[in-house]
Structure 1
Amino acid sequence: MGEFTTTIEFRLDQAYKGLAEARSAGDDFLADTLTAEIEDLRRIADDNGITLPRQMSR
């Protein structure tokens, strides 16, 4: 696995964890921001032929 793939997976993992915490805390703005980041990271992965699990750490 390449460094780029590892970085995408790490960032997605962190974003999903942050999203869970934001939702738990009721922070809608942060949850929306992290949701957008997750969508962007998944798009970048797809654009570069990186296959990711459907859900990583939701």
Structure 2
Amino acid sequence: MLRASQVSQLLQIGRNQVYELARSGQLPSIRLGRTLRFSREGLSTWIKEQQR
């Protein structure tokens, strides 16, 4: 599981943009308590879909 800061580094976007994409349902995420986590598999799938 990845944190938002790790996802932002991988995608080269701001952390706030990661949260906004997750909040809008565009980027798959899992809420664990008060934090959001992102699966590597879900992120990989999302990246492939964005390249289409």
Name the TM-score class by shorter chain.
0.3 to 0.5
Higher relative contact order (CA 8 A, sep 6+): 1
Larger proportion of helix: 1
**TM-score w.r.t. length of structure 1:** 0.30
Larger proportion of strand: 2
